[in-house]
Amino acid sequence: MQIPFSPPRIDQKTIDAVVDTLKSGWITTGPKTKLFEKQLAQYTGAPTVLCLNSATAGLELALRWFGVGKGDEVILPAYTYSATANVVLHCGATPVFVDVNKDDFNISIAEIAQYISAKTKVIMAVDFAGLPCDYSNINSLVNNDDVKSLFKPSSKNQKKLDRILVLSDAAHSIGGTYKGKRVGALADISVISFHAVKNLTTAEGGAMCFNLPEPFDNQEIYQALSVKALHGQNKDALAKTKPGSWKYDIIEPGYKYNMTDIAAAIGLVELERYDNDMLVKRKEICEFYNKYLLEYSWAQLPILENDIKDSSYHLYALRIREITEQQRDQIIALISEAGVAVNVHFIPVPMMSYYRSIGFDIADYPFAYDNYSREISLPVYYDLSLEQARYVCETVTEAVEKVLNKVEA
Ligand SMILES: *Cc1c(COP(=O)(O)O)cnc(C)c1O
C-alpha cells in the first residue's frame, strides 16, 4: 500500500468550478473572490475578511498595516513554519522567539509575559495543528495595565489601538473553536492559509480576518488593506473595466498580493462542504489514530479537543516517548520504506541555518526541541480510508517497536 501525506481533495465539482470561471470572462480578482470573502466572514464570525495569494502575504500586510519596523520586537513561538518569522525580518523588525507548551505545542503564555518589553509591538500566536491558542489569556495579557503602560506607540494604528496587537497565524486552524467562537474571531487579526496542503485549499491563497475593537472600523480596514494588497491603487481591475472608469491613482507604494477568481472558485467549493464533510472526515481519522495508539505506552497522543477548544484536525502530531532525534529519524525511515509518507512539524525556526547565522540557538527553547525531536505527523486527508489509517498505525507501531527493541537488545 502507498499512502501519501496530504493530497488535495479534487473532484469533478472542483474541476467544474474552475472551468466555469475560466469560461466566465473574468479570471483575476472579481465576483468569486468577493463572494468567497463574504462567506468566510460569515463562517468565521470575523466582521470582514480579505482574500490574498498566501497567508504569508497576510501576515506581512498585518505587520505593515500596524507600522512595525526597525527597532520593534515581535513575539512568536520558536515552533512554527519559517514564514511566521520571515515576515518580521522583511519589516526590519526583530523576531523574539519564545518556547512552547509541553503538552499542546502552542506558544507558552508564561514565556510571552516574560519577554514583553517596551519594544514589543505584536504577539503572533500560531494555532499548531489546528488547535487554537489560549486567546483569552493572550488578550488579557495585552490589556493588562502594566503591559499597556509599557507600550510605546509609534504609528497611527498603534496609537489608535494603544496596546500590543494580537496577530493569529491561523494557517492551520480554520474551523477550530475556542470558548464557543470560531478561529477568525479570536484575535485582532487572524490569517488563514489555503496552501495546497492545508485543510481548505485554493492551490495557493490566504485570508486576513479582521476583528479589531472599537474605535476601529473593520470595513474601513478591509478597504485600506485591499488597496495595500494591490499596488496602492485606489481602484481594482474589475472597477476599472467599467466603461469610462479608466482613471486611477496610486496612494501608496503597495504590494501585489491579490487572490484570483480561479483560486476563489476552488475555495467556494471547499468552504461549502468544509464543516459537514471535510472536518467530519478529518476528525474521524484523527480519532481513529488516537483510539488505535492509546494502548501503546510509547505513544504520546496529541490533544485534539478539551472543555474549551476543538481542533480543525489539520495535523495528527504523534510523539514517541523517550526517544532521541536520531531514533525518530530511524522510525521515519522504516515507515517510509513501507510506503507511508509521514512528516515532521516543525523543524523549529531557530534550528534553520539562516536563523542560526543571526544568533538564535535551539538550546534556548528546550520544549520546542523536545517536541520536534520526538514528533511524527501521520497522514490526514479527505480520501484516506479508515482501512488505510489502520495500515498507517500498524506500520508506525512496527517501526517504533523495531527501533525501541534494538536499543534493549
Ligand atoms: C503554511 C503555513 C504558513 C504559510 O502559509 P502560505 O499560505 O503558504 O503563505 C504560515 N504559517 C504556518 C504555521 C503554516 O503552516
State residue 406's pLDDT score.
82
Atom index in ligand 1 nearest the CA of residue 205 equals 7
Distance from the alpha carbon of residue 55 to the mean position of ligand 1, in angstroms = 6
Q: Of all protein residues, whose CA lies closest to atom 1 belonging to ligand 1? A: 171
Provide the 8-state DSSP code for 276: I
For the Cβ of 259 lying below 6 angstroms from any atom of ligand 1, the answer is: no
State residue 242's pLDDT score.
85
Q: SS3 for 375?
A: strand
288 burial (CB, 10 Å; 0-12 / 13-18 / 19+) is: middle
Tell me the C-alpha distance between 30 and 260, whole Å.
8
For the Cβ of 60 lying below 6 angstroms from any atom of ligand 1, the answer is: no
- Can you read off the three cell numbers belonging to residue 265? 472558485
For the Cβ of 126 lying below 6 angstroms from any atom of ligand 1, the answer is: yes
Distance from the alpha carbon of residue 390 to the mean position of ligand 1, in angstroms = 29
- Can you read off the three cell numbers belonging to residue 29? 480578482
User: What percentage of the chain has pLDDT greater than the value 90?
Assistant: 96
pLDDT greater than 80 at residue 76: yes
pLDDT greater than 70 at residue 408: no
Distance from the alpha carbon of residue 353 to the mean position of ligand 1, in angstroms = 19
Q: Which of 195, 189, 191 is nearest to 173 (CA)?
A: 191
409 pLDDT band (50/70/90 cuts)? low
3 alpha-carbon distance from chain centroid: 24
- Can you read off the three cell numbers belonging to residue 136? 483569552
Q: Could you tell which of 6, 51, 52, 56 is best to mutate to test the pocket of ligand 1, judged by most ligand atoms within 8 Å of the CB?
A: 56
Provide the 8-state DSSP code for 214: T
Mean per-residue pLDDT for 83-87?
98
If phi over 0 gives left and psi between -120 and 50 gives alpha, with beta otherwise, what is residue 105?
A: left
pLDDT greater than 80 at residue 339: yes
Helical axes 386-408 vs 279-293, angle rounded to 10°: 30
pLDDT greater than 80 at residue 407: no
pLDDT greater than 80 at residue 394: yes
Q: Of all protein residues, whose CA lies closest to atom 2 belonging to ligand 1? A: 171
Mean per-residue pLDDT for 330-354?
98
State residue 373's pLDDT score.
98
20-37 per-position pLDDT tens digit:
999 999 999 999 999 999
Domains annotated for the chain, with CATH where assigned, are 12-272 (3.40.640.10), 274-406 (3.90.1150.10)
Tell me the C-alpha distance between 234 and 178, whole Å.
37
For the Cβ of 257 lying below 6 angstroms from any atom of ligand 1, the answer is: no
Atom index in ligand 1 nearest the CA of residue 169 equals 11
